[in-house]
Every structure is written in structure tokens, then in C-alpha cells.
Amino acid sequence: MTLQERDKKHLWHPLTQHKLYADHLAITKAKGALLFDDRGNKYIDGIASWYTCMYGHCNDYITNRVANQMKQLDQVVFAGFTHEPAIKLSEELMKILPKNQQKIFFSDNGSTAVDVALKMALQYHFNKGEKRGKIIALENGFHGDTFGAMSVSGLSIYNGCFEDFFIDVARIPVPSKENFESVKQQFIKLLETTNVAAFIYEPLVQGAAAMKMYDAHLLDELLGLAKQYNTLTIADEVMTGFGKTGKYFASEYLVNQPDIICMAKSLTGGLVPMAITSCTQNVYDAFLSEDLVKGFFHGHTYSANPIACTAALAGIELLQSDEIKEKIKRLIASHQQFDKHIKEHPKVKETRQLGVIYALDINVNMERYGSLRDKLFKFFMNKGVFLRPLGNTIYMLTPYIITDKQLEKVYNTIEEALEIV
Amino acid sequence: MTLQERDKKHLWHPLTQHKLYADHLAITKAKGALLFDDRGNKYIDGIASWYTCMYGHCNDYITNRVANQMKQLDQVVFAGFTHEPAIKLSEELMKILPKNQQKIFFSDNGSTAVDVALKMALQYHFNKGEKRGKIIALENGFHGDTFGAMSVSGLSIYNGCFEDFFIDVARIPVPSKENFESVKQQFIKLLETTNVAAFIYEPLVQGAAAMKMYDAHLLDELLGLAKQYNTLTIADEVMTGFGKTGKYFASEYLVNQPDIICMAKSLTGGLVPMAITSCTQNVYDAFLSEDLVKGFFHGHTYSANPIACTAALAGIELLQSDEIKEKIKRLIASHQQFDKHIKEHPKVKETRQLGVIYALDINVNMERYGSLRDKLFKFFMNKGVFLRPLGNTIYMLTPYIITDKQLEKVYNTIEEALEIV
């Protein structure tokens, strides 16, 4: 039996209607920017396996470090104990996080990082004697799949039949030049008349909403308002973090820094799962008390797993290396060149770029998971490029280490794809 | 600066009131059943680092396999793609899971495995055109820290100020000979008069509730009733799974098998985080449809991470080996011997054992995180044994591979500890 046939017997894949999408392509190997299947084909990983493997698949620098760590210390309870990989990681993160971030709390994926952030915000006010139960979020935001994370996500396909079970969230439109006065008034009214614990947002780029981008100065004004009302601000940098916007974190484009930041995905360079929720000293201090239960009684078994911390440390070293910095610069410039050329194409409705994140919308209506989208996906795969169009949006978020030749191929394939829609 | 001092600067530990517990012991190395600190001391890991490292810390068989996998395939999107480590793991799990389990869905920790199970159960009924919104859970159950998992957990210290945000849960007492008729009537009334989507339980042993144990035949009767009302049953085997009860899964002690099983912790042998929610063909089939949105739109980025799948595969091979089977048998017999001796001790109120899980209650009242509990904890650590008393309960859940000499030391230390309370 082939791997694909064996796959069908017992595996339930994420985000998949198996009746309509029964076949899953078997990947046997990955290296650098390439994925290899069991039929001898190779594919350029145009989205870095959901924005994780930014330093390339099976990166020797990371895997060698992890191989050593596995011989030394695999896992230990992180309540009552500590270890050097977690300590060193916290120190290295302090060097690249916005300056106001002072404490880090571990979990295992982006969804739990968001659940942790929401619980921190709710308990922060509770510990200060204020009962604030509402969260403000942006329309079309996506923050994950656990019940808390789903509650603040606005993309309805992910939420389905669960909306009765959500925590209390008010949603405002993503700010734009056109709607800003109205959004601002709506935001102020919420801050004034309801007890808002926190405002959560994906800074500057909404990933799952097809890399929709919005202006830093508009977000900055909202963040300033939130601070006036002592509403905590939560930046979900799960997708944007670790260099993708051209800065270590998207929040660096802003004057007003968040109280809490969520990180995951490329935190560990694509090797193993881990997430972090960082926060300010002020947030942390609200949990310090002689009263035991004012502490934060959240804890996953593998919190601060030494293997994952080691992968993260190696990844952050790479991120700060001249080599990766150069590669990021080159990608940004290269995308800009491509953009100049492609945005004039008659099939292109709009293009947008921030750092190494590049997206273009085709001027044809498509469903998020419709047949035209599937046709595009298959076209890309047949050409040896893994891209995952979202409706009529084609986006690239390649590993930083993609070669010039591979990048050229991605560009050409996108241009060819415009001919088939 | 020492590791302990550096730890204090930026790390926020799980389940910790930092004002009362500022110091975290720095662990630098682990091997087999031993943890080593940065002061040259060693400790027997009496709870297998929260029931994860059952085959021993830094187990060569597991780490060698993972080292090879890291060179081959680190990570790939699990929607649209598949890979051998996930396929093989699903096949191996089928050999040890209860026979009615047919499909497996990946996530990253026990909490998300529970959130997935709850979402599966809610959407199962929704997809069949029935709106069932209530979940039944046991008092003092613990299922995790995300909002969904918290909702079904009954241990109040973990839920704190978040109860306003919970999904709709009805709680019944843990069944016992004394209360069974009343519990049964309460259960039937809930099943009859409200729309119950699922009943979730930790089978036979409630871990965080200090290893409280209850009878298989009482649980079996409740499961039988749930099935009559087409209420799905969810076994949370995050703690009990993979041999700890003397069988692969605690559910094997029951006639009525669950519709859904949650697994994590020792699934990956203590190396890296991963979780699985398995289910019956019947549950899976309810999501198959020409209608896209009847699919299960849940998906974590690192779902089915090949590194974690490889660790799990190696762990399951060890679990099925004659060597580990022998070690488990020996542990069970050894605990029984110890029990005969210690249960006569005047300070011992009650003892209980299932498989390699052993707990004894001291006949002194203690708070869950009180000063007497702390005194006990420190006594154990000073003697070189890591045990984590929960209130007046001392429990052991050592790695299967603990040596006889190490085990003897744990027993003796527990007996000595009874003299200081």
C-alpha cells in the first residue's frame, strides 16, 4: 500500500473536509526551502510550512544543538524547577522583544499562547479588584482554535457551531483611512461604557484573513486610547514575529507597545511545537501576592520543554546573524522588484507587502475553499511550488534562506498562474 | 550569577505564586530515573516529570530515532500533506487503543486534546441536526487550562476568576458504593431533561485530585446509560494512558468503551509536546459531507509534527517490549508489597493503587498548597527524592525503568516522611 492509501485508514487531518479532500500527498524529506514527496517530486515551500521553517527545513545548526540537548536534559517539571535553556531563551528574547516586555510564560502552540494572554488580562483586572469581562477584537482576526482563542477570532469558518460557548467579545472593523473616525468612535464607546479587559489584534498583518494589511499609525491611535482606559493590549505576533515584517516583531512599527505578546510558529524554527506569552512587569506584578490564588494557575506539562527551548535559542541566534539579516533584506528588495512588475498585470487587483510577507489579490471572485482556489493550488503543486491560496489571494512567505533561483521560480509560477484564472 | 538568580529576572513559572515561591531549583541533566541539579545533587524522579518520562529520561532508543528524523523531515503542513511518522503512529496506536477507536486527530497538549474532544462532541450533534450544548463532568476532575478544558474541570484552584466564561457544564459526584444510587439518578435526570452532548471523565483515577480512584463497574454503568441517550463519552487518558494502570489504557478495565479518548504526556515519552484525540468511525463519519463546513475546522500549526510522532513511535515500541512489560509487572508487585507494610502505619489514613500509580493519604489535614505540604516536599528533596505531595496525599508514579535500589529509596523516604508530619 502507498503512504497515501495508508494515510486514509486512521488519520483525521486538520482543517479538512475528508469527503471532498480525500488524498493527502506524502512528504518524505525536507531540506532548506524544499519538500520532497514519495513519487520523486520536489516542491519549493513557498509558505515555510505555515511560517515556521524560516531558517530552512532540517537546519543543521538547529538540529545539532537539539541533538546535544537530547542527551543532556529532555524534560523536567517547570513548577519549582528551572533549567538553562529556558533561562538563556528568556535572556535572548529580552534582547529582541519590545523593551517593555519583561516576563515570559510558556505554552505549546499559538492557541494556548492566546488563551494564556486572555486569562492573564482577565485575572490582571480581577486581582486589582476590578471585574472586567469583555475583550475587543478585530473583524476577520484569527487567533486560534481553542475555545478562548476561537472566541476572539472573527473568521466564521473556523468557529462554526461553537459561538454559543464563547467568552464575551466585541468586534470592531479593521481600521482604514476610510472608516477610521467611525471605528475610533466605536472603540471609545466600548472602552467607556463596558468593562473591557483587553484589546487583542494581529499587528499590521492579519494572516489567516489572507495577509490583509493595515496602517501602523491607525493601530497606534487605538492602542493609545486603550491605554487611557487601562485596557490591556495583546499583540498576537504568532505569524508576524521573528523577522517576517522586516523587524523582529511587527510591534516595532508602533509607538505604543503592547502589554502582552503571543509568539509561536517560527519561535522554534519549525522543529517542534512551543509558544510563549510575554508581558510587562506591570502585568506580572498584579499576580504577586501573599494570597496564593492570585498567582497564575495555568500550566501545561511540557511548559518550557528544554528541547523546544534549545531549538528556539538556535533559531534566535540565526535570526540575529548577519547572514539571515542579509537574506531578509534581499527578500524584501526582491519582492519589491517583483511587485513593480506584477501589479500592472490585468488579472491583478491589488498587491501588498510588509517585510518578507507578500500577497496579491486576483480580480476574480473566489470562495475561500472553492474550486478555482483548488485549481490554483493544483497548478502550483504541478509546477513544484507549494503555495496555499486563500480565496483569490496568492501569498508568499518563503523561508529566509530560499535561493535566488528558487525565488525566481516562485515568481514565474505565480505569473503563469494568473493566466489560468 | 547562578542559574537560580538568572531565572528570577524574566521567567514566569506555571502554577506558581512567585511571591511565596521565588526560588526554582536549576536542573542541569537527567538520565534514567534521575535528575541532577547545578549544585551536584541528584534526585530520583518519583513522578516521572509529571508522568511523561516513563521509559526514563534521555532514553537513547528514543533520542537516536529522533536524531535521525531531524535530518530527514522536521515539519510540514498536515492539511493536504501526510508523512510516514504520522501514518505509522496511527497504525501502531490502533494496535493498543480500545478496538472501537478508529481515527486520530493531532494537537499539542492535554488541554488542546480536551478542547478538540469537546468541539468534536458538540459538532457531532450539530452536524446530525441536533443542538446539544451541555457537557457532564465529574466533580474534582481536572482536564486542563484552556477555556474549554477549564470549563469541564472541577478543581476550583485552577479556575479562579474565569468561571463566567465557561461552556455549559453539569457536574456529578465521583461515583462510589455509598452514593451510587443518587449519582445515577442525577445522571439520568441530566440525560433525560437536558441536551447533553458528552460526558467527560478521567477513567478510574483522577490525577490532579490527588490520584483519587473509583470503581470500574460504577463508571461502566454510567457509560452504558450515556450510550442509551446517544450522549458521547470522552475518556481523558492524558494521565492514565500508556501502561500506567497496568493496561495500555485505563478504559480496558471497562466493558463500555468511550467514543473519544484524549492522550498526551507519556505519549511522546517525555521528549517533546504532542497530544492526540482519537475517536470511533461513527464520530468521524458525522463530519463527512459534501458540505465543506461540516468538516472539523480545527488545526494547530505543528499538528502531527514528524519529530514528536517519531518520539511517540519509539515510546510505543518500548511500551510493548518484554523489558518494559516486565518492569511494569515488577513495579506493580513491588508497590503491593510496600502497601502491605505501610498501610498499617499509624499516620496512614488510606492507601490506593492501580497499576504503577500508588497513593497514600496521611491522617493529618493539609491544604493543597499549605506549609505542611511544603515541609514534606522539602523533606523529600533533601533526601534526594522528587515527589510532589498534593495536600495530605503522597503519590508515586515513577518511570517504569526505575531500579530496584532507587525504588527502595523512594519507599524508605516516604516512610521516614511520615515521622515529620
**Each residue of A193-207: pLDDT tens digit?**
889 999 999 999 999
Domain-located, residue B54: yes
Nearest chain A CA: its distance from B291 CA (Å): 8
Domain-located, residue A66: no
**Can you tell me the distance from the alpha carbon of B387 to that of B406, in angstroms, rounded to the nearest whole number?**
13
Q: What is the CATH number of the domain that holds B33?
A: 3.90.1150.10
The verdict on A91 and A179 lying in the same domain is: yes
CA-nearest residue of chain A to B165?
A167
Name chain B contacts of A167, Cβ cutoff 8 Å: 147, 165
Domain-located, residue B23: yes
Name chain B contacts of A109, Cβ cutoff 8 Å: 107-109, 112, 300-302
DSSP readout, B357-388?
EEEEEESS---TT-HHHHHHHHHHHHTTEE--
The verdict on A97 and A112 lying in the same domain is: yes
* Residue pairs between chains A and B whose CB atoms are closer than 8 Å: 415
pLDDT band for B157, please (50, 70, 90 cuts): low
pLDDT tens for B56-93 read: 999 999 999 999 999 999 999 999 999 999 999 999 99
The verdict on A332 and A345 lying in the same domain is: yes
The verdict on A312 and A329 lying in the same domain is: no
pLDDT tens for B160-169 read: 677 777 888 9
Q: Of chain A residues 209-268, which have a CB less than 8 A from chain B? A: 264-265
Number of domain units in chain A? 2
Question: Residue length, chain B?
Answer: 421
Instruction: Give me the pLDDT at residue A121, please.
Output: 96
Does residue B104 surpass a pLDDT of 70? yes
Q: Do B17 and A76 touch (CB under 8 A)?
A: no
Domain-located, residue B123: yes
Q: Do B10 and A287 touch (CB under 8 A)?
A: no
Q: Which of A91, A145, A289 sits opposite B299 (nearest CB)?
A: A145
The verdict on B278 and B387 lying in the same domain is: no
**Can you tell me the distance from the alpha carbon of B171 to that of B138, in angstroms, rounded to the nearest whole number?**
5
Reduce the DSSP state of residue A381 to 3 states and report it: helix
Instruction: Give me the pLDDT at residue B163, please.
Output: 75
The verdict on B312 and B333 lying in the same domain is: no
A36 or A371, which is more confident: A36
The verdict on A301 and A206 lying in the same domain is: yes
Q: Which residues pair with B313 in a beta bridge?
A: none
pLDDT tens for A154-201 read: 766 666 677 777 888 999 999 999 999 999 999 999 999 889 999 999
Instruction: Give me the pLDDT at residue A156, please.
Output: 64
pLDDT tens for B369-405 read: 678 889 999 999 999 999 999 989 999 999 999 999 9
Look up residue A44 and give its amino acid: I
Instruction: Give me the pLDDT at residue B158, please.
Output: 65
Report yes or no: B225 and B187 within 8 Å, Cβ to Cβ.
yes
Reduce the DSSP state of residue A371 to 3 states and report it: helix
CA-nearest residue of chain A to B277?
A12
Last residue of a domain, which of A319, A345, A369? A319
Q: Do B87 and A6 touch (CB under 8 A)?
A: yes
A364 or A326, which is more confident: A326
Instruction: Give me the pLDDT at residue B77, please.
Output: 98
Instruction: Give me the pLDDT at residue B182, please.
Output: 98
Does residue A370 surpass a pLDDT of 80? no
Q: What does pTM read for this prediction?
A: 0.97
Instruction: Give me the pLDDT at residue A166, please.
Output: 80
Domain-located, residue A163: yes
Nearest chain B CA: its distance from A341 CA (Å): 30
Over chain B, what is the mean pLDDT? 95
Residue B157, chain A, CB below 8 Å: the answer is: yes
Domain-located, residue B266: yes
**Can you tell me the distance from the alpha carbon of A7 to that of A38, in angstroms, rounded to the nearest whole number?**
13
Last residue of a domain, which of B319, B346, B375? B319
φ, ψ for residue A260, nearest 5 deg: -140, 140
Residue of B7, B44, B87, B274 to mutate, testing the A interface (most A Cβ within 10 Å of its Cβ): B87
Instruction: Give me the pLDDT at residue A160, please.
Output: 66
Reduce the DSSP state of residue B64 to 3 states and report it: helix
The verdict on B198 and B229 lying in the same domain is: yes
Residue-range definition of the domain harbouring residue B398: 3-59+324-420
Domain-located, residue B66: no
Does residue B293 surpass a pLDDT of 90? no
Q: Do A111 and B109 touch (CB under 8 A)?
A: no
Domain-located, residue A169: yes
Q: In 10 A of CB A141, how many CB atoms?
A: 22
The verdict on A116 and A265 lying in the same domain is: yes
Q: Do B12 and A133 touch (CB under 8 A)?
A: no
* Inter-residue long-range contacts of B33-40, CB under 8 Å, 24+ positions, other chains counted: B33/B57, B33/B398, B33/B399, B33/B401, B33/B402, B33/B403, B33/B406, B34/B406, B35/A76, B35/A81, B35/B386, B38/B2, B38/B3, B38/B4
Nearest chain A CA: its distance from B26 CA (Å): 5
Residue A129, chain B, CB below 8 Å: the answer is: no
CA-nearest residue of chain A to B64?
A67
The verdict on A213 and A333 lying in the same domain is: no
**For the residues A94-120, what does the mean pLDDT come to?**
97
Q: Of chain B residues 88-107, which have a CB less than 8 A from chain A? A: 90-91, 93-94, 102-107
The verdict on A159 and A271 lying in the same domain is: yes
**Residue A286 half-sphere exposure toward CB, CA atoms < 13 A:** 18
**For the residues A47-59, what does the mean pLDDT come to?**
98
Q: Which of B66, B162, B265 sits opposite A119 (nearest CB)?
A: B162
Task: Copy the grid coordinates of residue B198.
Answer: 458528552
pLDDT tens for B294-319 read: 999 999 999 999 999 999 999 999 99
Q: Which of B53, B80, B164 sits opposite A74 (nearest CB)?
A: B53
Q: What is the CATH number of the domain that holds A144?
A: 3.40.640.10
Task: Give helix A84-96 / helix B3-10 axis angle, nearest 10°.
Answer: 40
Lowest mean pLDDT of A129-138, A315-324, B176-185, name the range.
A129-138
**Can you tell me the distance from the alpha carbon of B104 to that of B95, in angstroms, rounded to the nearest whole number?**
13
Q: Do B7 and A167 touch (CB under 8 A)?
A: no
Last residue of a domain, which of A276, A297, A319? A319
Q: Do B298 and A47 touch (CB under 8 A)?
A: no
Report yes or no: B162 and B147 within 8 Å, Cβ to Cβ.
yes
**For the residues A45-56, what does the mean pLDDT come to?**
98
B165 or A291, which is more confident: A291
Name chain B contacts of A282, Cβ cutoff 8 Å: none
Residue B40, chain A, CB below 8 Å: the answer is: no
The verdict on B31 and B125 lying in the same domain is: no
CA-nearest residue of chain A to B370?
A292
Name chain B contacts of A49, Cβ cutoff 8 Å: 75-77
